[in-house]
Amino acid sequence: MSLLDKLKKPFIVSAVSLGLLLGSVGCVSEEDILPIDENILFWRSTEEDAPKLFSVGMNEIETPIFSENIFSDTFQVLSKDNNRMVVIDYNVRAYEEEIGYAIKLIDLDPNNIETVLEGRSVHGILPLTFFRGDSRLLCALNPKNILHGWSSNNPTLLFSIDLETGGNTEKIEPLGELNPFAYFGENPLSQDGENLIYTLDLEGNSEIFIRNLASEQDIRITDSEGEEHSPFWFDDNSLLFERVDFRNSERSGVYLVDLLDEGINERLVLAGAKYPYTIPFSNNISFVLDGALCLYHLESGSVVDSVKLPKYHSSNFHWNDGGKYCSFTGGKKGNHLYVIDFESKTKVLLGEYSNSGIIEICGWIN
C-alpha cells in the first residue's frame, strides 16, 4: 500500500532536506528561424478590445480562433490532448444589474464554442483541470465574487462537471470541501485523477497539501519555515515545488518529494533554482537558475542544457510534449512572445505585440 493509499488516515509529517545535486551546464545559442510544426495558443488584448484567442506558428502569422471577445482573465484550462479548452466568461449579462459568468468549452478542431454552465458572479467558480481520458472538468467554487477574492467565511467547494451531458445540474458531482484559502497551481490533479495538490497559508507560511478526492482526506506534505510555491506533479507518487526561505537562503531552491510507503522523502534538487516545471512525456524538469532556463535530468542529477533568458520574462513556461520546445512571454510590458528549441539550440523572439496588453499563453496545439 502506497502513502497516497493511506489517506483515510491523515497525518502530518515534517519535511527534511537531504542534499544538493548539480551537474554540468550546456549553452543554447540564438537563431532567426525555428522549424516548428506546432502552434502556440495565446490570449491577446488591446487597449480597445477585451482579450481574444489567437494561435501563431513560426511563420509569425497570427490566426484568430474566434472573432468574439471572451474575457478569460487567465482562468482557462487546456485539455491534456490540447484540442479542447475551457474558459470563464465574465461578460455574460445573465442577470439584471449583475455580471454573470459562463463556463465555455472551446473545441479547437474544428473551432467551436458552447456554454456548458452559467450562473451569478457571487458563485466564484474556477476551472482547475481536465480529468485525463474523459470529459469531466475539475472545478473549485467559493460563494463570493471571484473578481474580489475568496470568502473567508465559506469553504471552497470541489466538484466535477461532465462536459458531455449538456447544461443541466445532473452533470455536477460534488467532491468535498477545502479551506477557503486553498490555492491551486497549474495542472494540480495527479495523472490517475485521484489526488489534488494545493498550497495553504498557515501562520504566514504557505505549505503544500494533497487531497484524496475519493476519501476527502488530506496529507500535509511540507512543514518548514520557508514559503512553498509552484507545486507540480512529476508522476503519481512524486512532486516538485519551490521553497523560498528568507531566514536561510541556502535552503531556498527547487525540491523533489517522493511519496513512499514508509513516509515522505524530500530532497533539495538545486539551491537557488526557481519556477520548477514538469515536462510532458519527459524525464526532465525545468527551472530558472541565475537568469537561465535550465533542463535538468533527475535520474543523473545534472543540468543537461540551459539558455540565457531575456532580462524581463514571466515565471510561466509552456513546454510541448517531450520537452523540445518551450514558450514564454517577456518584455517590460509582457507583450513579447519567445520560443526556445532545446534540441537545435535556438531561441527566437517570435512576436513583439507593441499595441497589446499582457499576453497570456495557453499552451501548444498541433
Give pLDDT, residue 240: 94
| Grid coordinates of 232 | 507540480
Residue 97 has pLDDT above 60, yes or no: no
pLDDT of residue 34 exceeding 60: no
Determine the pLDDT at residue 123: 54
Rounded-to-integer distance, Cα 153 and Cα 40, Å: 40
Confidence at residue 19, expressed as pLDDT on a 0 to 100 scale: 22
Give the span between the Cα atoms of 332 and 322, in whole angstroms.
Answer: 30
Distance CA 82, CA 129 (A): 12
Out of 32-36, 121-125, 221-225, pick the least confident: 32-36
pLDDT at 116 > cutoff 90: no
194 has a pLDDT exceeding 80? yes
Considering Cα of 174, then 124, then 232, then 271, what sign does the dihedral take? negative
Contacts for 221-225: CB closer than 8 Å, 24+ residues apart: 221/13, 221/15, 221/197, 221/257, 221/264, 222/15, 222/257, 222/266, 223/12, 223/13, 223/14, 223/15, 224/14, 224/15, 224/251
**For the whole model, what pTM was predicted?**
0.81
pLDDT reading at 111 higher than 50: yes
Q: pLDDT tens across 292-347, in order?
A: 999 999 888 999 899 999 999 999 999 988 888 999 999 888 889 999 988 877 88
Q: What is the CA radius of gyration of the chain?
A: 21
Most confident region among 5-9, 65-69, 73-77, 147-151 by mean pLDDT: 65-69
pLDDT at residue 326, rounded to an integer? 93
pLDDT at position 343, please? 82
Alpha helices in the chain (DSSP H): none
Q: pLDDT at position 261, please?
A: 80
Mapped to the 3 state alphabet, what secondary structure does 50-64 carry? CCEEEEECCCCCEEE
Mean pLDDT across 35-53? 74
Instruction: Determine phi and psi for 137, rounding to 5 degrees.
Output: -120, 130
- The percent of residues above 90 in pLDDT, for the chain, comes to 30
Mean pLDDT of 114-138: 76
pLDDT value of residue 33? 44
More confident residue, 53 or 245: 245
Residue 43's pLDDT is 84
Q: Cβ distance 72 to 80 under 8 Å?
A: no
What does each C-alpha distance from 335 to 46, 77, 298, 332, 338 come to in angstroms? 11, 21, 33, 8, 10
- Mean pLDDT computed over every residue of the chain: 78
- For the chain, helix (H) and strand (E) counts, in that order, are 0, 27
pLDDT at 179: 86
pLDDT score recorded for residue 345: 77
**How many domains, in total, are found in the chain?**
1
Residue of higher predicted confidence among 197 and 20: 197
Residue 6 has pLDDT above 60, yes or no: no
Average pLDDT over residues 44-66: 75
Q: Whole domain around residue 211: which residue ranges?
A: 3-365
Among 283, 239, 234, CA closest to 257: 239
Q: Environment class of residue 280 by beta-carbon count within 10 Å: exposed (0-12), middle (13-18) or buried (19+)?
A: middle
In the predicted model, is pLDDT for residue 195 greater than 90?
yes
Q: Which CATH number do you get for residue 267?
A: 2.120.10.30
Mean pLDDT of 47-58: 75
Q: Is residue 118 pLDDT above 80, yes or no?
A: no
Give the closest residue to 360 by CA, choosing from 315, 293, 306, 311.
315
Residue 25: what pLDDT?
32
Residue 95 CA to residue 215 CA, distance in Å, equals 37
